[in-house]
Amino acid sequence: MNVISNKWIGQRTIRPDGADKVTGRAAYSADTTMPGLIWGKVLRSPHAHARIRSIDTSKAEALPGVKAVVTAKDIVDFPLDKPVMLGIQDMRWMCRNVMAREKALFHGHPVAAVAATSERIAQEACRLIEVDYEVLPHVIEIEDALKPDAPILHDFIKFDGKPSNIAGKLEHKLGDVDAGFAEADVIVERSFTTRPVHQGYIEPHSCLVSVSGDGKATIWSSSQGQFMVRAMTSLLTGIPQSDIRAFPAEIGGGFGGKTIIYLEPLAVVLSKKSGRPVKMTMTREEVFRASGPTSGSMSTVKIGATKDGRIVAAKGVFYLQAGALPGSPIRGAAGCAFAPYNIPNVHSLGFDVVSNRSKVAAYRAPGAPIGAYAAECVMDELAEALKMDPLELRLRNAAKEGTKAAHGPVFPRIGYEETIRAAMEHPHYSAPLGPNQGRGVASGFWFNAGGESSAQVNITEDGNVVVTTGHPDIGGSRASIANITAELLGIDYRKVSVLIGDTATIGYSNLTGGSRVLFASAMVVTQSTEKVIKTLCERAAKIWKIDPEAVEWEDGEARPAGDNAGKFPALSLAELAARATETGGPIGAGVQANTTGAEGGFATHICDVEVDRELGIVRVLRYTSFQDVGRAVHPSYVEGQMQGGAAQGIGWALSEEYLYDKQGRVDNASFLDYRMPVCSDLPMLDTVMIEVPNPKHPQGVRGVGEVPLVPPLAAVANAVYAALGHRFDSLPMSPPKVLAALEPAEA
Amino acid sequence: MAKLHVSTTINGEPVEFLTEPGESMLDVLRGPLGLTGSKEGCGSGDCGACTITLDDRLVCSCLMLAAEAEGHEIRTIESMAEGETLHPLQQKFLEMAALQCGICTPGVLMAAKSLLERNPDPTETEVRFWLAGNLCRCTGYDKIVRAVLETAADMREAAR
Amino acid sequence: MTDIRYLAPRTLDEAVGAFAAAAGAARILAGGTDLLVQMRAGVLRPGLIVDIKKIPEMTSIEETADGGFRIGAAVSGAALADHPKFGQVWPGVLEAVNLIGSTQVQGRASPGGNLCNGSPAGDSVPAMIAAGAIVTVQGPNGRRRMPVEAVPAGPGRTTLAPGEILVSFELPPRPAGSGDAYLRMIPRTEMDIAVVGCGVSLTLQDGVCTAARVGLGAVAPTVLLVEDAAKALIGSKLDDAALEAAAAACRAVCRPINDKRGTIVYRTKVAGVLLKRAAGIAAERAGRA
């Protein structure tokens, strides 16, 4: 690791995009317009499960103002027998998700789209499209989808040789669990369920697309990856990537939900057919009905320990809803559940279950909160059975450098133990509690990711700096990149502009996800900046006519070093920039790399709740998160990640859930009835950042964005248990459920 | 369709526009008037991203017909800064990182400004309930509430 | 695609004329916080929107000579909160009106709209019923007055005749020793529709309850006046037995449904809890009054 000063790294600088965002100037996807644009609308299936016999669009096409109509036949088909992977997404499912082909698989599944001169005409045209459906029996819940007589969504999916709704299985094994449990003095086993929850970003999906006469497409949209937009749109429309230019609009929240696309390919085809720019924006109801939430789940976790609190075996079985097309985050659930612990014998199994719901999308540490909810509640119960403090039990078994995780890796230096110790020593952990109050703790792990990243660092003629990277900034990454660049160059951070390039102006960069953005972009920005510094030293050497090796870069200027020290006046960045042409031309450097070395993230949370025993209402009174953040390059935005994740987790635990009616329709597709926490629901969310630098990163960065959502479900559930003495094994812990548990006889 | 002619005042300037009778104020602000700082998160008054003031009262512009603007005075996020000078709330939000993605920020700022105009010394609870109609999914509200409270303290100090 | 027309008449007669002439195709626009949501969801597509906020009578708050209040049907919650005296006299009604939606919704939403929307869960309605509010309506056949509890007819329906517009609420003067309160149960702290709502208004003399009214929302197709609960309170010192009897009366009238917002069992149980808590707050206020 480089030894660097801390002038800017670790400072709470003003974010480069901040002024635009507080004045309303920042351009999100729906804020862009174009001359001549027309409006696209999607016709969605009114049935949860139906074969599409035919679609007649003639009446819609005849409506004055309608410029184009799209159905599945306009989208590239990916045959069912041949997987085509783009990252973790299989295009066989993506092509069927953006537009139903053989069958409509959930209520709200797109079956056609229209572009017209006004939104109202487009809507009216959708009503004129005649779809002949053969309505089929539907299935929503996992337990129903697993029944022998369940309606089968996809004939081609077989499990154990038979048609099944189980679309996939994943297994992690370490040691011998049976032998491990035989050694245990205490074993706790419990089953849990969680409901699907939505990412809840406030900005609905939206795009503006223009396809020109020569077939070149330009896309402005809000996503977690402009290169993902380009690649998927290319695959689904057949337009080569070189003919698609995707601009990353400012993104109004994603949390994983914008790592796939819904509208862009439809808008591209509509624009191509009509010759007009096309704008499409989902309503909030469409967002809830048809964009991906994360999975609901059914799981069973069994953990055994010796009486001195040494965990000897753990087993987990996790069934996750995929929605209508395969691909639930079983890896996150099965892989992360036991990762915080050094357990010699682990067997973790995940099953991917399809049913007639919208296809799930990534949601902040996908699957991991589900696994941790089950595992960390069982840990709590185990601690009680062992008469041991729950943090002490975690500390005794904490994964550390050298621990082999069931999902594969041997951990390098990690800061999990430090999060537990910090929690134990924090005043929160020993603060007194009142009646009907309880305190819970839980830990969590997330893999974190590296991957492809590109950066270009250019020195402007007047001696300022422009840094371009390729990842949409979802939570303040530009501010962190400015800090790093300023630190390396030894200049004021305000001299650094940080931009997100479009697909034509910056090299390929994988999407904003996996808590990878700062980890990866800091690496390529560092390498680019180091190249720039090398060039700057060479230019100074040229001016001084000395060996470039005899020049050092310090405090934003080139200084003669070694034997030449003090022989020439230092040359500042501005002076070197002004003389760039005469010394060799423009100064700048770019690096494109596949970054590796993103190490896992760990966190431990403490939650206090109070329960109104007469109404069944649970309120969170106090919440503190302890997280190994590697290096907090911009502490405010690290804290922001910790706080945002905690808030989402509290919502998941207490109030958020998808509700379906008997016809298989989402019954609460609005912010009114899909209850995300509002400002008055939450206390201040305290954070303790623990910096155990990632040894494999130049600044010690670890991903920090996702692990904050891993512990809260269990932390809240364990707090409710402490308050009531009743353990809830199903989320959300909504008032009717809590009251029924408190007075079971009357319920 | 017969459009209505509306004369109103927006951000201190006289403005005239044509609107379809069923069109919302938000649609007109974001469409023909090009004031896209007000955001549409839900269209049903549940998220507050489209918050404006109508005769100094906070309203969701998605829940108001554009036709109703006739003869009234509207303010949007675009009028919060005076020229290059940010409102103290805007400045504090930047300093305290009280925004992440920023989509809820215009609505939150409009609501917070209105609160401080009515109540220069709000408690944390008063801030939290006043802002309950402004959904934010990124921050968990912590830094937003702290920024509003600190701005209020600064403004009280400045007014002494 | 039918066109929508928009009218903002200056007089009530003009409004009634236009509203009645359009027959069922017209909708009244007060705060619009229900109407615009329904229009956007495609549930409603009115041919005519009659905006009543330019009619002075609809947006004024007056203290009557006898110490009561007359509130225009389109008065916003925020305007009612700004009134210097109303909240001191009718704190329960004010808190109920001010629970309708967010601060932003408060800038627009009105008790008249809340009542005419016909939702069994409207927050202001149980408090208005408890307060003994009388409404005035005007239609093609002139004006009439009726108790507020006579207005709701079922989910989304009222007893207003075709062409009739709700004009105002009248709240009676308060004898000394009176207090009112409204409580609702929602899963969050704000921004939800009441799972149960309960309004209580009562008068105490020397610690004995001499008058009481109870309104209960979201437990039946309409908001209910619970006379048996009031009877249980009147004549008592609001002791535990009287409160339990009143709570039992509230539970007994519940005819709720299981829906996304609550279950039958839960709503019924909560109705009794809220009665006790609201009565306690009302009594405390009465003691101070």
Decide if B25 contacts B52 (C-beta within 8 A).
Answer: yes
pLDDT exceeds 90 at position A351: yes
Q: Residue A2: what pLDDT?
A: 42
Phi/psi-derived region of residue A514, left when phi > 0, alpha when psi is between -120 and 50, beta in every other case: left
Decide if C253 contacts C215 (C-beta within 8 A).
Answer: no
The pLDDT tens digits of the residues spanning A570-585 come to 999 999 999 999 999 9
Answer whether C5 touches A (CB < 8 Å).
Answer: no
Q: Residue B20: what pLDDT?
A: 94
Answer whether C49 touches B (CB < 8 Å).
Answer: yes
Please compute the mean of the pLDDT values over residues A620-636 and round it to a whole number: 98
Please compute the mean of the pLDDT values over residues A726-745 and round it to a whole number: 91
For chain B, positions 103-142, list CB contacts with chain A under 8 A: 103-106, 109, 124-125, 127-129, 131-142
The pLDDT tens digits of the residues spanning C254-276 come to 999 999 889 999 999 999 999 99
pLDDT exceeds 70 at position A630: yes
Answer whether C261 touches A (CB < 8 Å).
Answer: yes
Those chains having 3 or more beta-carbon pairs within 8 angstroms of chain C are A, B
Please compute the mean of the pLDDT values over residues A699-716 and round it to a whole number: 97
Q: What is the domain class of A18-26+450-595 according to CATH? A: alpha beta
Residue A212, classed as helix, strand or coil, is: coil
Answer whether A6 touches B (CB < 8 Å).
Answer: no
Please compute the mean of the pLDDT values over residues A652-657 and round it to a whole number: 98
Fold of A297-448+599-742: Aldehyde Oxidoreductase; domain 4 (3.30.365)
ipTM for the complex shown: 0.98
With CB atoms and an 8 Å threshold, state whether A681 touches C190: yes
Question: From CA A6, how far away is CA A746, in angstroms rounded?
Answer: 62
pLDDT exceeds 70 at position A722: yes
CA distance to partner chain C, nearest, from residue B63 (Å): 6
Which of C36, C39, C191 has the CB atom closest to B132's CB atom? C191
In chain B, the residue whose alpha carbon lies closest to the alpha carbon of C77 is B57
Give domain limits for chain A. 18-26+450-595, 33-136+203-252+258-290, 297-448+599-742
Q: Measured between alpha carbons, how far is residue A541 from residues A458, A529, A551, A667, C32 in Å? A: 20, 18, 6, 70, 72
Q: Which of B138, B149, B150 best tests the A interface by mutation, with the highest count of A CBs <10 A?
A: B138
Please compute the mean of the pLDDT values over residues C171-192 and round it to a whole number: 97
Q: Measured between alpha carbons, how far is residue B99 from residues A34, B42, C162 in Å? A: 28, 19, 50
Record the tokens describing residue C192, joined without a space: 């939800």
pLDDT exceeds 70 at position C2: no
Least confident of A194-198, A654-658, C42-46: C42-46
In chain B, the residue whose alpha carbon lies closest to the alpha carbon of C192 is B46
Q: Measured between alpha carbons, how far is residue C98 from residues A721, B10, C36, C102 in Å? A: 35, 27, 20, 8
CA distance to partner chain C, nearest, from residue B1 (Å): 6
Give domain limits for chain B. 4-79, 88-159
Q: Which of A282, A283, A614, A663 best tests the C interface by mutation, with the highest count of C CBs <10 A?
A: A614
Q: Which of C48, C103, C105 best tests the B interface by mutation, with the highest count of B CBs <10 A?
A: C103
Cβ contacts from A onto B, under 8 A:
178
Sequence-separated (6 or more) residues with CB below 8 Å from residue A461: A577, A578, A580
For chain B, positions 9-28, list CB contacts with chain A under 8 A: none
Which of B24, B58, B68 has the CB atom closest to C104's CB atom? B58
Record the tokens describing residue A285, joined without a space: 């109801």
Q: Name the percent of chain A lying above pLDDT 70.
A: 99
pLDDT exceeds 60 at position A4: no
Q: Please name the residue ranges forming H helices in A608-702.
A: 635-654
Half-sphere exposure of B88 (CA within 13 A, CB side): 19
What would be the CATH architecture of the domain defined by B88-159? Orthogonal Bundle (1.10)
Sequence-separated (6 or more) residues with CB below 8 Å from residue C84: none
CB-CB neighbours of A35 under 10 Å: 6
- β-bridge partners, C166: C137
Please compute the mean of the pLDDT values over residues A421-441 and round it to a whole number: 98
**C-alpha angle A537/A542/A543, rounded to 5°?**
100
In the structure, what pLDDT confidence band is assigned to residue A729 with cuts at 50, 70 and 90?
A: very high
Record the tokens describing residue A631, joined without a space: 């290096």
Q: What residues in B contact A679, CB-CB < 8 Å? A: 127-129, 131-132, 134, 136, 141, 144-145
The pLDDT tens digits of the residues spanning B97-147 come to 999 999 999 999 999 999 999 999 999 999 999 999 999 999 999 999 999
Domains and CATH numbers, chain C: 5-119+134-171 (3.30.465.10), 178-288 (3.30.390.50)
Mean pLDDT of all residues in chain C?
96
Cβ contacts from B onto C, under 8 A:
97
Q: Please identify which residue in the block is written with the tokens 């941790």.
A: A372
Answer whether B114 touches C (CB < 8 Å).
Answer: yes
Q: Residue A3: what pLDDT?
A: 46
Q: pTM here?
A: 0.98
In the structure, what pLDDT confidence band is assigned to residue A743 with cuts at 50, 70 and 90?
A: confident
CB-CB neighbours of A149 under 10 Å: 7
In chain A, the residue whose alpha carbon lies closest to the alpha carbon of B101 is A252
Record the tokens describing residue A181, joined without a space: 């449990």
CA distance to partner chain A, nearest, from residue B123 (Å): 12
Record the tokens describing residue A707, joined without a space: 């692990």
Q: What residues in A contact B100, CB-CB < 8 Å? A: 253, 474-476, 637, 640, 644
With CB atoms and an 8 Å threshold, state whether A677 touches C188: yes
With CB atoms and an 8 Å threshold, state whether C107 touches B134: no
In the structure, what pLDDT confidence band is assigned to residue A744 with cuts at 50, 70 and 90?
A: low
- Residue A352 φ/ψ, nearest 5 degrees: -100, 115
Please compute the mean of the pLDDT values over residues B90-95 and round it to a whole number: 98
What would be the CATH architecture of the domain defined by B4-79? Roll (3.10)
Mean pLDDT of all residues in chain B?
97
In the structure, what pLDDT confidence band is assigned to residue A81 with cuts at 50, 70 and 90?
A: confident
Cβ burial of A4 (10 Å; 0-12, 13-18, 19+) is middle
Question: From CA A453, how far away is CA C133, in angstroms rounded?
Answer: 67
Q: Residue B2: what pLDDT?
A: 84
Q: Measured between alpha carbons, how far is residue B127 from residues B108, B137, C76, C83 in Å? A: 11, 17, 21, 21
Question: From CA A719, how far away is CA A606, in angstroms rounded?
Answer: 9
pLDDT exceeds 50 at position C3: yes
Q: Residue A473: what pLDDT?
A: 96
In the structure, what pLDDT confidence band is assigned to residue A55 with cuts at 50, 70 and 90?
A: very high
CA distance to partner chain C, nearest, from residue B80 (Å): 17
From the candidate CATH numbers 2.60.40.10, 3.30.930.10, 1.10.287.610, 3.90.1170.50, the one assigned to the domain spanning A33-136+203-252+258-290: 3.90.1170.50
For chain A, positions 200-239, list CB contacts with chain B under 8 A: 200-204
**ω into A732 cis (within 30 of 0):** yes
The pLDDT tens digits of the residues spanning A382-391 come to 999 999 999 9
Domains A18-26+450-595 and A297-448+599-742 share a fold: yes
Answer whether A565 touches B (CB < 8 Å).
Answer: no
Those chains having 3 or more beta-carbon pairs within 8 angstroms of chain A are B, C
With CB atoms and an 8 Å threshold, state whether C4 touches B21: yes
Record the tokens describing residue A511, joined without a space: 């999407």
Q: Residue A734: what pLDDT?
A: 97
Mean pLDDT of all residues in chain A?
97
